[in-house]
Chains A and B, each alone.
Chain A
Amino acid sequence: GENVEQHPSTLSVQEGDSAVIKCTYSDSASNYFPWYKQELGKGPQLIIDIRSNVGEKKDQRIAVTLNKTAKHFSLHITETQPEDSAVYFCAASKTSQGNLIFGKGTKLSVKP
């Protein structure tokens, strides 16, 4: 089955710097790659997603890139703010099934 690896497990940046989180997946049939932000005590909130027919997607300060050949995808957050501090999870799935396989998460700390 699918396996998703996520790095780093923790990331600390200064406010205004960029943050990059990387994930790899094992199942070449996976075609949907969302990123979720989880704040303490809350459920995962979708922040951006990308499908396998697209190489890059951007939404304001957040961007995601996908390399299907290498089977890895990355989350890029620019101009980080303290409110970006949270745990970020990448995930992968096959659209026909829809169940997500999550990475282990990255705890992002943005220092003012």
Chain B
Amino acid sequence: EPEVTQTPSHQVTQMGQEVILRCVPISNHLYFYWYRQILGQKVEFLVSFYNNEISEKSEIFDDQFSVERPDGSNFTLKIRSTKLEDSAMYFCASRFTGSSDTIYFGEGSWLTVV
């Protein structure tokens, strides 16, 4: 079964450092998402990406966040200057088209900011 893959599975970083989380969405999918989940809390929407541009973003997705699809397979989330409160599990997700609603999630990248 096709799946969304994410790397790294866990990263520890110093406060103020830049972090890049990587995702390979399911190959024929066209919509890409990043969500985050702070420990013990609900999954929160960060950003959606379609046709090489951001289609929607939440209040959480401020100027320190950016997304990129550098090639035909990867989808990245960059956090420019990490803060302690950025510590969370970050999930990448993808969806085929607007007519197919199912969103598939990756296993997540656990980010710890110290």
**Chain A interfacial positions (CB closer than 8 Å to B):** 32, 34, 36, 42-46, 49, 51, 89, 91, 93, 95-105
Question: Looking at chain B, what size class is its interface with the partner chain?
Answer: 20 to 34
Q: Indicate if the CB atoms of A43 and B103 lie closer than 8 Å.
A: no
Residue positions of B touching A, CB distance < 8 A: 4, 31, 33, 35, 41-45, 48, 55-56, 91, 95, 98-99, 101-108
Give chain A residues whose Cβ lies under 8 Å from the Cβ of B55.
Answer: 97
Q: A89-B42, A89-B43, A104-B41 are in contact. Are A96 and B98 (CB under 8 A)?
A: yes
Residue on A with the closest CB to B4? A43
In-complex Cβ contact of A103 among B42, B56, B101, B108 (8 A)? B42
Interface centre among A91, A95, A99, A101 (most CB of B within 10 A): A99
Give 10 pairs: A residue, B residue, CB < 8 Å, sorted on A: A34-B101, A36-B43, A46-B104, A93-B101, A97-B55, A98-B95, A99-B48, A102-B44, A104-B41, A104-B42
